[in-house]
Amino acid sequence: MAQGERVKEIRKNCGLTLEKFGARLGIGKTAVSKIEHEQCALTDQVSKAICREFNVNEKWLRDGIGEPFRETGDGIELLLKNMQVNADDQFYRLMLEIGRTYQQLSDNSKQVLQEFVNSCIKNVQEHSPKEPAQVVPFRLISYYYKNASAGTGKLIIDNVPEDDIEIPDIPEYRNVSYAIGVNGDSMEPTYQDGDILLVEATQEIRIGEIGIFQVDGEAYVKQLGDTELISLNQEYDNIPLDESSRTMGRVIGKLNAE
């Protein structure tokens, strides 16, 4: 392996671009490229800078003799330098000493130490403060108990809600005007007896949408068809629309689906 190729191998092992590698040595990326391609000689100054900055074995760099990196600290110096930890920092000196001490341990002692460190990391992760749960604001809407039939019909009490309930104040529920309970099973499996429907108060509803309808004084939760109200449960007949029919709202969803 030529000298320039050895320089390139050091740079690649350090995961550095030509520009970043050169910046650590005080030269430009063009100069680094020329060295790697044997277009200019590796000077003593640059050679010493490479060995100093990247913990490289000078005999290997110049002549290809020995291992690429010096054994001192088991490469911890190189790691710390690439992390851009200042050599004057206490952390740098501590980590360097730990690396050198670790290198002197027996294989069994190294394994024990590794297991201990892994245990400490796991303990910290398990007991770290969790991100606080996001608080969702609520708002109050009127609630009519079991007054929309999913069966044979149920008289609705106009303008007299029995209670107020809280719903999440989220964009999906922005148009919800009131809530109403389901009475019956003609809309199963989508809506079941006891579900709390969230309704947008509107008379404009498209065919295929589910809404609250009043026919002959009885209120239903059904799917709107061309000429009839459709029951999703095929055991129930559809309900023909007539002149008395009126739309009381579009079903946005059900509260107990949250």
- Using one digit for the tens of pLDDT, what is the confidence trace for 203-219? 889 999 999 888 887 88
Is the preceding peptide bond at 132 cis, omega within 30 degrees of 0? no
Contact between 209 and 249 (Cβ < 8 Å)? no
Question: What is the secondary structure of 111-159 as a DSSP string?
Answer: HHHHHHHHHHHHHHHHHSPPPPPPPPPEEEEEEEEEEEESSS-B---TT
Q: Give the pLDDT confidence score for residue 92 in this predicted structure.
A: 64
Q: In the block, which residue shows the tokens 């297991």?
A: 115
Q: Give the pLDDT confidence score for residue 131 in this predicted structure.
A: 64
Spell out, as residue ranges, where the chain has pLDDT lower than 70: 71-89, 92-93, 96, 100, 103, 128, 130-134, 145-162, 256-258
- 235: number of Cβ within 10 Å: 8
Which domains are assigned to the chain? 3-105 (1.10.260.40), 138-257 (2.10.109.10)
Q: Give the pLDDT confidence score for residue 140 in this predicted structure.
A: 87
Using the CB atoms, write b or e for 111-130: b if 16+ within 10 Å.
eeeeeeeeeeeeeeeeeeee
Q: Per residue in 99-157, pLDDT tens? A: 767 767 787 887 888 888 788 878 877 776 766 666 778 888 888 765 554 554 443 44
Contact between 236 and 165 (Cβ < 8 Å)? no
Q: Give the pLDDT confidence score for residue 7 in this predicted structure.
A: 93
Residue 211 in tokens? 């809404």
Q: Give the pLDDT confidence score for residue 251 in this predicted structure.
A: 92
